[in-house]
Amino acid sequence: MIGYLTTIMTLVSIAVLIAMALNVQWGMCGMVNFGLSGFVALGAYTTAILMLNGTGVFMAVAAAIVICSVMGALLSLISLRLSDDYLAIVTLGFGEVIRLITLNEDWLTGGALGLPGIPRPLVDYIGTDHYEKFYLAVCVLVVLLIFIGLELATRAPFGRALRAIRDDEVVAASLGKNVLLMRVKAFAIGGGITGIAGSLQAFQFSYIDPSQFSAIMTVYAFMAVIAGGRGSHSGLILGACSIMVLLEATRFLKDVVNILDNSQIAAIRLILIGGGLILLLIYRPQGLIREYRATAPAAPKNVPHDRKE
């Protein structure tokens, strides 16, 4: 049971990281990223391939961060002059391209079989007995560091400017070129965080394959961001955790209802994820934890509304 909990909590930490990346891009800046799973995969494969070729942990993770940031910057540049709808499509397309590459380039990514035997950092010192707990601690630490970094950035002029861009197109227009640059920066920062998430994922099972990076990852991140209240990093952690608990609970569904087979249970979980996302958007656009957000400095004054025309 402890082992199960440790694993779940590690996975939650990684999911929180991905949601944080989305929170910078979408929550703070209003830019949709439907290719999150592609970014995480890019980070994970970068780390894995480098590690398997004997690079050090630090280099492997740094490379994942850099590559994902650059990719984020490039994608936002393509759709810089376009409305957010196009960015959604461009990122979705990017995610698909990454998926196809991981599936088809056997020489590099191992294809559908994936890459096994990724060395886990410091395993010789920690030993395998307590490694899972150690790794959980590392993940939680990373989440905390990034959380603090984002909180600071949110309060800094950069964060205020990002929210101003999101909430008020007049302000955005008067800032002119700066806006474009800041949007690119926000997307690059989000990309970098997904790179870290990818690295952590690669070390977690010391094995990766394309099926780990499905679109579920993306939809889950959207749910977490909405549940936590867009733009609020602390709300997001609570939101992500509570949703994960709810979803994990559905795993036990098959003990109760035994007429359903495994794939049906999986389908029901996914229906719940998609339906939950829609319900949150309709009934709780300001986040699940309203009281909390009232004191959160990052909270935008109004629920973002129609800004077209």
Partner 1 sequence: MTAPLLTASDLRAGYGGDDIVNGVSLSVVPGEIFTIIGPNGSGKSTLIKVLAGIVPVRKGTIALFGKDVTEFKAPQRIGEGMAYVPQEFNVFRNMTIAENLKLSTEFLGLRGRAGYLERQRVLDLFPDIASRQNLLAGNLSGGQRQMLAFACALISSPDILLLDEPSAGLSPKLVIEIFDKVKAVNALGTTVIMVEQNVAMALPYSDRALILVNGSVRYQSDATALRERGDLHELFLRES
Partner 2 sequence: MGQLIINGLGTGLIIALPAMALSLTFGILRFPNFAIGAMLTMAAYMAWSFNTILGMSLILAAALTILLFPLVALICDRTVFKPLRTRGPVTLLVASMGLSFVLENICRLFYGNDARSFDIPLARPYRVMGLRINYELLVTAGVSISAMAMVYVILQHTSLGRAMRAVADNPNLAAARGIDAGWVIGATWCLSGMLIAASGVLIGMDRAIDPQLGWNYIIVCFAAAILGGLGSPVGAVIGALTLGIVGELATLIVDPNYRSAIAFLVVALVLLVRPTGLLGRREIVK
State the residues that interact with partner 2 by CB under 8 A. 26, 30, 32, 34, 78-79, 81-86, 88-90, 92-94, 96-97, 100, 103-104, 215-216, 218-219, 222, 226, 263-264, 266-268, 270-271, 273-278, 281-282, 285, 304-308
CB of 302 to partner 1, least distance (A): 4
CB 172 within 8 A of CB 164: yes
Partner that binds at residue 129, options partner 1, partner 2, none, CB closer than 5 to 8 Å by kind: none
Using the rule CB under 8 A, is 308 a contact of partner 1? Answer: no
Determine the Cα–Cα distance for residues 66 and 23; give it in Å rounded to an integer. 19
Shortest CB 174 distance to partner 2, Å: 15
Any contact of residue 129 with partner 1 (CB under 8 A)? no
How far apart, in whole angstroms, are the C-alpha atoms of residue 297 and residue 241?
Answer: 21
Choice between 61 and 68, CB closer to partner 2:
68
Tell me how far, at minimum, the Cβ of 307 lies from partner 1, in Å: 8
Angle at Cα 13 formed by Cα 207 and Cα 45, nearest 5°?
30
The interface partner of residue 302, options being partner 2, partner 1, none and the CB cut-off 5 to 8 Å by kind, is: partner 1
CA distance linking residue 262 with residue 165, whole number of Å = 45
Whole-number Å distance between alpha carbons of 301 and 65: 33
- Binders of partner 1 in range 265-304 (CB under 8 A): 301-302
Number of residues that bind partner 1 (CB under 8 A): 4
Query: Given the complex with partner 2, which of 137 and 260 has the nearer CB atom?
Result: 260
Work out how close the CB of 285 gets to partner 1 at its nearest, in angstroms, rounded to a whole number: 12
When asked if residue 306 is in the footprint of partner 1 (CB under 8 A), the reply is: yes
H or E element that contains 59: helix 57-78
Nearest to 212 by CA among 31, 26, 42: 42
Q: Which does 78 bind (CB under 5 to 8 A by kind): partner 1, partner 2, none?
A: partner 2
Locus of tokens 């590559």: 67
Q: How far is the CB of 265 from partner 2 (least distance, A)?
A: 9
CB 145, CB 20: distance < 8 Å: no
Taking the complex as a whole, how short is the minimal distance between the CB of residue 226 and partner 2, in angstroms?
Answer: 8
Q: How far is the CB of 36 from partner 1 (least distance, A)?
A: 28
Considering only residues 81, 252, 263, 305, which one is a binding residue for partner 1 as defined by CB under 8 A?
305
281: Cβ contacts below 8 Å, ≥ 6 apart: 226
CB atoms within 10 A of CB 90: 20
Closest CA to 203 of 38, 69, 26, 10: 10
Residue closest to 215 by CA, chosen among 281, 270, 178, 258: 270
Residues that bind partner 1 (CB under 8 A): 301-302, 305-306
